[in-house]
Amino acid sequence: MVSLAEDLYLLASDSPTGRFLIDTTHLDLGLGGALLLDLAVRGHVELADAHVVVTGSPPTGEPLLDAALTTIAGEARGHGPDYWVHHLAHRAHRAVQNRLVDAGVLRRQEGRLLHVIPVHRTHESDGVLHRELLDHLNDSVVLGQPPPPKTAALASLALAVGLERHLFPRSDRHEIRRRMVEIADGGWVEPAVSGAVTVVDVALGLGPEPEPPA
């Protein structure tokens, strides 16, 4: 099972060239949110008194998620979701990229610009996963089909980091955004996912500050 962070990374990069469609600050925050909400959806972390706590479930078997889980479990003080989204966001695109290279989804190409300056590019090996992700999103966002939970979570994250205009360039931008907001707010996304996406929105200045716990 591929993690949400890996899915978001693939969507945020141009398949033929490997170039990012959004700046890495936005991408890293989205990936931090993806790691946290993926752990929540799988039942490995939960909220207790507004703090993220590890449930004690066995490892996920996914290297990225297990590394995040170990980080959270090793923190002596309790922290809320906003802290962990920012903490897990640190150089997250590099970690996800390395994981995808190790898995054979991406391949690295080394070269030199003007025969002098080292250039490192990363491309998708065949683009199959990228096309599958876009097809699933297209079914739900453009065609209006009910989204599976993972597709709904991915659509919500893509909207939070500003990917919607890049993923559907030939469709009406306002209609695409309306539909993605509908997916994010319409009950397709589990509460744990919605909370993490809200934190990403706030971190990027795209949404209201979450209300403090009563």
Asked if residue 156 belongs to a domain, the reply is yes
**Strand blocks (E) in the chain:** 45-48, 51-54, 106-113, 117-124
Total count of residues recorded for the chain: 214
Would you say residue 174 lies in a domain? yes
Question: How many CA atoms, within 13 angstroms, populate the side-chain half-sphere of residue 70?
Answer: 9
Domain assignment present for 214:
no
* Percent of the chain at pLDDT exceeding 70: 80
Q: Is residue 101 a part of any domain in this protein?
A: yes
Report the C-alpha gap between 39 and 192 in whole angstroms.
9
- pLDDT, tens only, 135-169: 999 999 999 998 888 888 899 889 889 899 899 98
Look at the chain and report how many structural domains it folds into.
Answer: 1
In a domain, 166, yes or no: yes
pLDDT value of position 212: 43
Question: Is 17 within a domain?
Answer: yes
The pLDDT score that the predictor gives to residue 214 is 39
pLDDT, position 170: 85
Strand partners, 108: 122
Exposure class string for 173-197: b at 16+ Cβ within 10 A, else e: eeebeebbeebbeeebbeebbbbbb
Looking at the domain assignment, is residue 211 inside a domain? Answer: no
Domain residues for the domain of 45 are 4-203
Residue 96 has pLDDT above 60, yes or no: yes
Burial of 105 (C-beta count, 10 Å sphere; 0-12/13-18/19+): buried
Average pLDDT over residues 108-132: 72
Q: List the CATH number of the domain containing 192.
A: 1.10.3630.10
Report whether pLDDT(31) > 80. yes
Residue 76: pLDDT band with limits 50, 70, 90? confident
The answer to whether the beta carbons of residues 2 and 100 sit under 8 Å apart is: no
Indicate the pTM of the whole model.
0.85
Q: Identify the band that residue 95 occupies on the pLDDT scale cut at 50, 70 and 90.
A: very high
Q: Give the C-alpha separation, 45 to 78, whole Å.
A: 12
Q: Is residue 105 part of a domain?
A: yes
**Residue with the two structure tokens 């939960």:** 46
* Model confidence band, residue 16 (pLDDT cutoffs 50, 70, 90): confident
pLDDT for 188: 60
What span, in angstroms and rounded, lies between the C-alpha atoms of 108 and 52?
Answer: 36
